[in-house]
Amino acid sequence: MSPEKKCIVLKFGGASVSSPESFSSIADIILQRKKEYEKVIVVVSAMGSTTDDLISLAQKVNPNPPRRELDMLISVGERISVSLLAMALSAKGSEAISFTGSQSGILTTDDHSDAKIVNVKPQRLLPHLENGKIVIVAGFQGMSISGEITTLGRGGSDTTAVALAIALNAELVEFFKDVYGIYDKDPKVDKDAKLLSSLSYKEAFQIMNNGAKVLHARCVRLAEKNSLSLKVLPFAHYNEKNVGTIIHSQEKRKLHISFEI
């Protein structure tokens, strides 16, 4: 991939795609970023409570479903989101194409419902990125070495976004969430909680260990290992001043890619 083309990964959580209308709003955010970055990869979670709904649907059929079949079912949530987002972008006259985790070359262990990413081979995405298309990837899922559909554990779409950013040498990952950023304390419990504008990985781990579940812990470890910067932004106010938190890398980006954490 030509290094001069600026590349970014944008991640949208379930809250940002909770209604059919929300796809049009996040398409606008994506198109705004596309003006600045030639290569834009978007990772999306399942809509609202879809994953929970699919799990309870499975349990109505079998209270203890085989984990392989559960992964087959719950990976569908993200697939709904990526196809709808590609349709929303197409409605705005923009070229976008959606892929599942396995089509995107997200290779995992075979631990169904808690698989770890072992490698990312995004060959199928490259020609579309080179041609300027917006590439949309289903979060939370991959394919095991034996070809089975796997999922990465609850909240795992964050890790999909970071793994793709590492494999594609993106400048950073922006996470669009239903919070203003990362706070020093839980803002729902503590009224004095302060929004932090910038954090080291270590500080982010400390805050997350104290209960803030803003990002999937595994994704922060993976980012640290590869010196990738992460930014958390509120999807409804992403353009405002004094919002968002950046987790900075102090080091230059590592060229040696590692998915081990």
Residues lying near ligand ASP in the complex (CB under 6 A) are found at 14, 45-46, 51, 77, 139-140, 154-157
The alpha carbons of the chain give a radius of gyration, in whole angstroms, of 17
Determine if 101 is a binding residue for Mg ion (CB under 5 A): no
User: Residue ranges of the alpha helices (H) in 2-151?
Assistant: 22-36, 50-61, 67-74, 76-91, 126-130
Which CB atom, from 31 or from 236, has the smaller least distance to Mg ion? 236
80 vs 4: CA distance, rounded Å: 33
Member of 8, 10, 12, 14 binding Mg ion (CB under 5 A): 14
| 151 in contact with Mg ion (CB under 5 A) | no
Q: Which of 242, 235, 254, 248 is nearest to 33 (CA)?
A: 235
Beta carbon nearer to ligand ASP, 162 or 228: 162
Q: How many CA atoms lie within 13 A of 8 on its CB side?
A: 17
Q: Taking the complex as a whole, how short is the minimal distance between the CB of residue 133 and Mg ion, in angstroms?
A: 25
Please identify, using beta-carbon distances, which residue of 13 and 128 lies nearer to Mg ion: 13
196, 246 contact by CB (below 8 A) = no
From the list 222, 260, 261, the residue with the least C-alpha distance to 9 is 222
Residue count of the chain: 261
CB of 202 to ligand ASP, least distance (A): 24
Binding status of residue 156 toward Mg ion by CB under 5 A? no
Q: Which is nearer to Mg ion, 155 or 244 (CB)?
A: 155
Closer Cβ to ligand ASP, 105 or 155, answer by number: 155
- The residues in 50-79 that bind Mg ion, with binding defined as CB under 5 A, are 51
Which stretches of the chain bind Mg ion, using CB under 5 A? 14, 45-46, 51
